[in-house]
């Protein structure tokens, strides 16, 4: 049996624990994403988890066809129960080696399974950092997911269209941590505070 290149489970558990620790009075906090408060960021994480779960399953439809920029995401009243469940489903869907092969769709864009996986890993690592920073929590991403995220962001650094997705690269010293270098490549300042 073929093994998928990376288990998303350790990183989805990191996100679930961060989200569980968010207090109701932190939902309005600003985040490193300029248009998002914490409740928007949580809504985005929930939406992307559903979309990329379905992309892994090749279950294409409304969840995989909607561009993420169509509206500002938000959470509903049951988000505390829904988010960990969807994160578990996301990780489980990408444990199937078939998820990493062939074509799929996410955000209305057709792309190879392995690229969809790289995108969701990037989303989980970077938005985990966003959530931790916005709510004053420590952040220790899964090392394998962080390495994959950094490789994806580094590969995209030469793409002239990348700024439309990530924003301009924030220069970070070469001796900075791998996480800080990835965050800089994502267009965020690793020193950001609320």
pLDDT (0 to 100) of residue 174: 87
- The tens digit of pLDDT for each residue in 139-168 reads 999 999 999 999 999 888 877 665 556 778
Q: Full-prediction pTM beyond 0.75?
A: yes
Contact 38, 135 (CB under 8 A): yes
pLDDT (0 to 100) of residue 164: 55
Contact 135, 22 (CB under 8 A): yes
User: Strand, coil or helix: what is 21?
Assistant: coil
- The tens digit of pLDDT for each residue in 27-84 reads 999 999 988 999 999 999 999 999 999 999 998 989 888 887 666 788 999 999 999 9
pLDDT (0 to 100) of residue 1: 44
Contact 96, 152 (CB under 8 A): no
> CA dist 11 to 1, 18, 89, 122, 161, Å?
23, 11, 13, 11, 27
């Amino acid at each position: 049996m073929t093994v998928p290149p990376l288990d998303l489970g350790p990183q989805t558990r990191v996100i679930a624990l961060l989200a569980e620790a968010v207090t109701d009075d932190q939902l309005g906090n600003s985040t490193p994403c300029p248009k998002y408060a914490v409740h928007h960021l949580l809504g985005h994480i929930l939406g992307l988890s559903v979309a990329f779960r379905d992309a892994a399953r090749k279950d294409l439809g409304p969840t995989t066809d909607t561009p993420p920029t169509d509206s500002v995401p938000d959470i509903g009243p049951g988000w505390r129960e829904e988010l960990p469940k969807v994160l578990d489903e996301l990780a489980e869907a990408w444990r199937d080696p078939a998820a990493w092969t062939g074509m799929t769709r996410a955000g209305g864009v057709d792309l190879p399974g392995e690229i969809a996986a790289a995108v969701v890993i990037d989303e989980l690592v970077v938005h985990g950092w966003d959530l931790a920073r916005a709510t004053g929590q420590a952040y220790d991403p899964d090392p394998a997911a962080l390495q994959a995220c950094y490789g994806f962001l580094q590969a995209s650094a030469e793409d002239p269209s990348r700024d439309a997705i990530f924003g301009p690269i924030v220069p970070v010293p070469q001796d900075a941590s791998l996480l800080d270098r990835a965050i800089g490549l994502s267009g965020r300042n690793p020193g950001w505070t609320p």
